[in-house]
């Protein structure tokens, strides 16, 4: 038998939704005349004990308003560390207190995922997510149904800041994850935590639908309360001009420029929230004017020197390092995220200032003046670009590829020339956003490093 590269449908609906008796809404979502050609099935897998754990996490996310302050790490860190040292093989003999604990990297998780599993974790609850590797080599992330479903209360705590709540119940679609890709897994599902509300993962790619106008008709019919996705997918959706009334759009995985955010907010008439999340620990924070506001009281964040295991003081820029989480299959101690920012605490709540995804890159003008990529991000953020890639060649020429249905290559060239003090050659290209894009997340690269 040929070995398939992707996951296979392997469960019954009873196994997908052990606590839901009425699956009629699920069947309606799956069998609708406008429904896409769903290629997968999925459930939240929550049993009674697991569901109560998700509710327990919800209380924590809602009730804890002071996470920690600059003088003192959160009180739970010591116990968490002791638990990890006692039950997680990877951490044994690595150190006794957080101050002297070494950082770990994505490489460690990629090479030894099995060593991060706590001895207390029930292997019958193990789930595996195989990441696409859009920002690096592929990675197997181990988790359980509780840590996965905790996404919902985490997002509810964000929405609370906007006075938005998700309506529960079996006749409403709570979340639709919108994709605009060549290929991805798509399915209709339900959320036990949201009392049977619908969950959709759909791909706008026309080849996934029976008729070209079905994507819009389907979405309009079920009118999801919350749309999630990346900026490219949202711009592809905007292009279809659907008549939807979402309560919020939640953008993640790629940088959301102010220009794109404004366009989406104007059209959908709701907040567009720029969420920072990692596969390794789920949601961390969302963008505000002060920086990304951290939403997880069960995570302790520090900033480290990029190359040395040296913790940096508050306010100093470096690599974001995470400790904590609620995943017994991947408990993190000082995990280097690969993302860069400085930390600021306001009334006990941490903010990630000037968060930039992955490798910080310095560019140079022809006469060798340094240009920081944060300055480039800030300027480009004003344009309605759904995403972009920028590369500096050895001869200092800049190659720029943007994704937008509005911005022109000429405009980009002008902006970049201004940033580079009119001392640079720019080759700019703009790709129109379609309903099936192939986009890499990597923003900046250079041959001069």
Give me the residues that bind another protein (CB under 8 A), please.
4, 7-11, 16, 40-45, 89, 113-115, 117, 119, 123, 126-131, 140, 142-143, 145, 148-149, 151-152, 155, 175, 177, 189, 191, 199, 201, 228-230, 233, 250, 252-254, 275, 277-279, 282-283
Q: Whole-number minimum distance, CB 418 to another protein, in Å?
A: 32
Minimum CB distance to another protein, residue 375 (Å):
26
Least Cβ distance, residue 15 to another protein (angstroms):
10
Rounded Cα distance between 138 and 132, Å, is: 6
∠ CA 377-379-383, rounded to 5°: 100
Nearer Cβ to another protein (75/123): 123
Question: Residues near 331 by Cβ (< 8 Å), separated by ≥ 6?
Answer: 80, 83, 84, 88, 116, 118, 324, 325
Q: How far is the CB of 338 from another protein (least distance, A)?
A: 13
**Angstrom distance (rounded) from CA 350 to CA 340:** 15
Q: How far is the CB of 185 from another protein (least distance, A)?
A: 8
Backbone CA torsion sign across 255, 416, 291, 167 = negative
Q: Which is nearer to another protein, 42 or 446 (CB)?
A: 42
Range list of β-strands (E), 44-126: none
Helices 48-63 and 151-160: crossing angle in degrees, nearest 10, is 30
Complex with another protein: residue 221 or 441, whichever CB lies closer: 441
Nearer to another protein, 101 or 143 (CB): 143
- Closest to another protein by CB, 90 vs 304, is 90
Which lies closer to another protein via its Cβ, residue 248 or residue 428?
Answer: 248
Ranges of H-type helices in 223-306: 231-239, 258-268
HSE-CB at 425 with a 13 A cutoff on CA atoms is: 5
Nearer to another protein, 344 or 441 (CB): 441
To the nearest whole angstrom, how small is the minimum distance from the Cβ of residue 23 to another protein?
14
Structure letter (DSSP) for residue 170: T
Do 127 and 101 contact (CB within 8 A), yes or no? no
Q: Shortest gap between Cβ of 426 and another protein (angstroms)?
A: 30
């Amino acid at each position: 038998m040929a070995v398939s590269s992707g996951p296979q449908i392997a469960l019954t609906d009873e196994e997908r939704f052990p606590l839901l008796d009425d699956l009629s809404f699920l069947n309606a979502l799956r069998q609708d005349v406008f429904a896409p050609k769903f290629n997968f099935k999925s459930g939240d897998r929550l049993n009674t004990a697991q569901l109560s754990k998700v509710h327990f996490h919800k209380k924590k996310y809602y009730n804890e308003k002071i996470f920690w302050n600059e003088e003192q790490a959160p009180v739970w860190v010591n116990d968490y560390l002791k638990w990890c040292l006692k039950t997680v093989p990877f951490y044994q003999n690595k150190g006794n207190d957080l101050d002297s604990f070494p950082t770990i990297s994505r490489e460690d998780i990629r090479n030894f995922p099995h060593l991060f599993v706590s001895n207390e974790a029930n292997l019958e609850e193990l789930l595996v997510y195989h990441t696409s590797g859009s920002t690096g080599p592929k990675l197997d992330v181990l988790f359980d149904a509780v840590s996965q479903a905790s996404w919902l209360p985490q997002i509810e705590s964000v929405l609370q800041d906007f006075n938005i709540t998700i309506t529960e119940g079996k006749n409403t679609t709570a979340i639709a994850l919108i994709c605009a890709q060549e290929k991805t897994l798509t399915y209709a599902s339900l959320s036990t935590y949201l009392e049977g509300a619908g969950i959709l993962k759909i791909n706008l790619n026309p080849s996934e639908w029976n008729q070209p106008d079905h994507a819009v008709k389907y979405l309009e019919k079920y009118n999801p309360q919350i749309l999630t996705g990346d900026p490219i997918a949202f711009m592809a959706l905007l292009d279809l001009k659907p008549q939807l009334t979402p309560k919020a759009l939640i953008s993640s995985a790629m940088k959301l420029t102010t220009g794109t955010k404004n366009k989406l907010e104007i059209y959908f008439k709701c907040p567009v929230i720029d969420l920072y999340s990692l596969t390794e620990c789920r949601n961390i924070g969302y963008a505000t004017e002060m920086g990304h506001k951290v939403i997880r009281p069960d995570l302790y964040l520090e900033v480290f020197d990029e190359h040395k295991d040296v913790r940096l003081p508050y306010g100093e820029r470096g690599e974001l390092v995470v400790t904590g989480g609620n995943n017994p299959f991947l408990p993190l101690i000082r995990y280097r995220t690969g993302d860069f920012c400085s930390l600021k605490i306001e009334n006990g709540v941490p903010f990630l200032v000037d968060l930039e995804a992955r490798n910080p890159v310095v560019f140079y003008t022809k006469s060798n003046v340094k240009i920081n990529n944060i300055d480039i991000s800030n300027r480009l953020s004003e344009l309605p670009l759904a995403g972009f890639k920028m590369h500096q060649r050895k001869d200092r020429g800049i190659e720029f590829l943007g994704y937008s249905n509005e911005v022109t290559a000429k405009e980009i060239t002008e902006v970049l020339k201004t940033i580079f003090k009119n001392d640079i050659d720019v080759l700019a290209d703009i790709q129109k956003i379609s309903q099936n894009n192939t986009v890499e997340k990597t923003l900046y690269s250079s041959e001069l490093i």
